[in-house]
Chains A and B, each alone.
Chain A
């Protein structure tokens, strides 16, 4: 149990276009999901906290108008990278929080390449 999926697993898009990444909790409900970004040979950095039914909370330095987060249901959060630029190329990982002990389960990640 406690599986988190991400779709797509990898995506290539052209500069200026938008791309949506989905994060799903497959067998549990998650009121809170987190989005992380990892640049090559660097660690994961938290981008935002997504709560079902409310606006996401963004970390300092993360542009909320560029990285649109929607958590419309208890099993799905989406991250849309708008007007993508090559510097947005990164590995994006989500996690879902559930249970009385606030367990966190990570998705497999989505590799975004902007050309």
Chain B
């Protein structure tokens, strides 16, 4: 059974720092992996989607990597800003065998201090 773990659970950093959020998963047979941002009381904002054949994706100050064989993904945020404060969720999607049912990690709550 696929399990998704995110470390750390919470993180507080001063503005301007580069930071790395970690996600690990137990079953490497995934279809894709996606990083989301969720603001308090709000829905999901998709940040980056990495297909199983890809190793990384970049968007602005965000870079996500995927190492399927080791069951790991990282989300790198460069030059963090107070507006980056949110919960970041890692979501792993299995393929046909898993019914494409997305499994979410518990999230990393990020607070960027001005």
Instruction: Report A's interface with B, CB cutoff 8 A.
Output: 32, 34, 36, 42-46, 49, 57, 91, 93, 95, 97, 102, 104, 106-109, 111
How many interface contacts (CB-CB < 8 Å) are there between A and B?
Answer: 41
Residue picked from A43, A91, A109, most chain B C-beta under 10 Å: A43
Residues B86-114 near A (CB distance < 8 A): 89, 91, 93, 99-107
Give the residue of B41, B89, B93, B105 whose beta carbon is less than 8 angstroms from that of A104.
B93
Given A42-B106, A49-B99, 13 further pairs, Cβ under 8 A:
A34-B102, A36-B104, A43-B89, A43-B107, A44-B91, A46-B101, A49-B101, A57-B99, A93-B43, A102-B100, A106-B44, A106-B46, A109-B44
CB-defined contacts of A57 to chain B, threshold 8 Å: 99
Contact A111 B41 (CB under 8 A): yes
State the Cβ distance, B89 to closest chain A Cβ, in Å: 6
Q: How many residues of B contact A (CB 8 A)?
A: 18
Instruction: Report B's interface with A, CB cutoff 8 A.
Output: 31, 41-44, 46, 89, 91, 93, 99-107
CB-defined contacts of B91 to chain A, threshold 8 Å: 44
Contact B42 A109 (CB under 8 A): yes
CB-defined contacts of B31 to chain A, threshold 8 Å: 102
CB-defined contacts of B99 to chain A, threshold 8 Å: 49, 57
